[in-house]
């Protein structure tokens, strides 16, 4: 089998032609491309923690963390380093190979940078890959994060350049591209994708993927999110995207960026097993594992494990950890969750009685 040529010069017509293929033909091409660069039955597993929640000055119309909208979100200041590292240790025990930390900032301040850098060093000391999303970075901040050992920086483009101003007005598209350039120049890997289902057109999905695929270096990780509609945000009532359009977007991303991890990201909680299975067939090979993705629900860890078993999928191994050990770590996490659930159910009547007495 000949290896797919890595390209950075995709035309609009070429990308549109991929989207407009018969569904089975598109999935066959995406799966064929996927198998040239990845084990088709392995998925990279990450855990995401919100280290600072809410009060963001940006006006992203999809985001419950924006200070512009009243979504009832409980705001939290920057977490203590110790608590972040405790969560990272739990993620490692549950089988995650990468720990991602997100802060609802327009950009990190110099006051907060020392704490952020300490988090990175602590996560790296555990043997985990470290990823952060902190908003806009200047060149010096990118250099500091790289020096601390940060592996990935996430900064999504969200949508096409043409549709972008309909979603966000407080940060320009060029600012996002500049941050990605600083990350690359500092030697870090790029995690960059977008959100589907915000009312964008097929033309906008084509536009977003063309920007990503025509970068001088493809993002190593490409999260494809399905909009999670949150009451209080301007997009709370937007029309649902057809799942087949979402799967097509996954497939085209795989074909355009063959060596990238394509992440089935936000919105999985609303997808049934069959849709998720088709996304994996289309070339998705990365997920967030756990009950919450920043501030929105994510499928429970044991549900992911059950689905993996049905599909014969295993998590990508961490360096220095065998497949068997990785499998056992995930099974142990499932048992702990089941035991906690049983304990919670058994203790609920006593808790209610105690509340009544008080």
Q: Could you give the residue numbers annotated as active site? A: 56, 60, 63, 100, 131, 191, 263
Helix axes of 243-256 and 23-37: crossing angle, nearest 10 degrees: 40
**Segment 82-87 long-range contacts (CB within 8 Å, at least 24 positions apart):** 84/49, 84/51, 84/119, 84/122, 84/123, 85/119, 85/122, 85/123, 85/126, 87/47, 87/49
Could you tell me the two tokens for 250? Answer: 């996954």
3-state SS of 173-242 is HHHHHHHHHHHHHCCCEEECCEEECCCCCHHHHHHHHHHHHCCCCCCCEEEEEECCCCCCCCCCCCCCCC
Question: SS3 for 53?
Answer: strand
Phi/psi class of residue 72: alpha, beta or left (left: φ > 0; alpha: ψ in -120 to 50)?
left
Buried b (16+ CB within 10 A) or exposed e, 31-54: bebbeebbeeeebbbbbbbbbbbb
Q: How far apart are CA 333 and CA 329, in angstroms?
A: 6
Numbers of helices and strands, H then E, in the chain: 11, 12
Residues 47 and 289 sit within 8 Å (Cβ to Cβ): yes
Q: How far apart are CA 182 and CA 216, in angstroms?
A: 14
DSSP class of residue 8?
S
Nearest to 145 by CA among 155, 156, 130: 130
- What is the chain's length? 358
């Amino acid at each position: 089998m000949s290896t797919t040529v890595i390209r950075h010069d995709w035309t609009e017509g070429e990308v549109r032609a991929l989207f407009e293929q018969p569904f089975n033909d598109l999935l066959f091409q995406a799966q064929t491309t996927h198998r040239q660069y990845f084990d088709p039955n392995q998925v990279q597993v990450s855990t995401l923690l919100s280290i600072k929640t809410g009060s963001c000055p940006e006006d992203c119309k999809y985001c419950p963390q924006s200070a512009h909208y009243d979504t009832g979100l409980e705001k939290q200041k920057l977490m203590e380093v110790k608590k972040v590292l405790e969560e990272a240790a739990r993620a490692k025990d549950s089988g995650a190979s990468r720990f991602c930390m997100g802060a609802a900032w327009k950009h990190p301040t110099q006051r907060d940078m020392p704490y952020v850098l300490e988090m990175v060093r602590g996560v790296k000391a555990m043997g985990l890959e470290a990823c952060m999303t902190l908003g806009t970075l200047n060149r010096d901040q990118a250099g500091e994060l790289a020096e601390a050992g940060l592996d990935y920086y996430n900064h999504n483009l969200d949508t096409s350049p043409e549709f972008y101003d309909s979603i966000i007005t407080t940060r320009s598209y060029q600012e996002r591209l500049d941050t990605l350039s600083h990350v690359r120049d500092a030697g870090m890997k790029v995690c960059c994708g977008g959100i589907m289902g915000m009312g964008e057109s097929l033309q906008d999905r084509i536009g977003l993927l063309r920007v990503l695929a025509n970068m001088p270096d493809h993002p190593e990780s490409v999260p494809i999110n399905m909009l999670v509609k949150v009451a209080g945000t301007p997009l709370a009532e937007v029309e649902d995207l057809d799942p087949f359009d979402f799967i097509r977007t996954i497939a085209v991303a795989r074909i355009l960026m063959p060596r990238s991890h394509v992440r089935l990201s936000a919105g999985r909680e609303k997808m049934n097993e069959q849709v998720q299975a088709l996304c994996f067939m289309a070339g998705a090979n990365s997920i967030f594992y756990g009950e919450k993705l920043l501030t929105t629900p994510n499928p429970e860890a044991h549900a992911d494990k059950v689905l993996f078993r049905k599909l014969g999928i295993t998590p990508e191994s961490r360096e220095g950890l065998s497949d068997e050990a990785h499998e056992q770590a995930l099974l142990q996490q499932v048992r702990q969750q089941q035991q906690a659930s049983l304990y919670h159910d058994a203790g609920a009547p006593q808790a209610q009685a105690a509340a009544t007495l008080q």
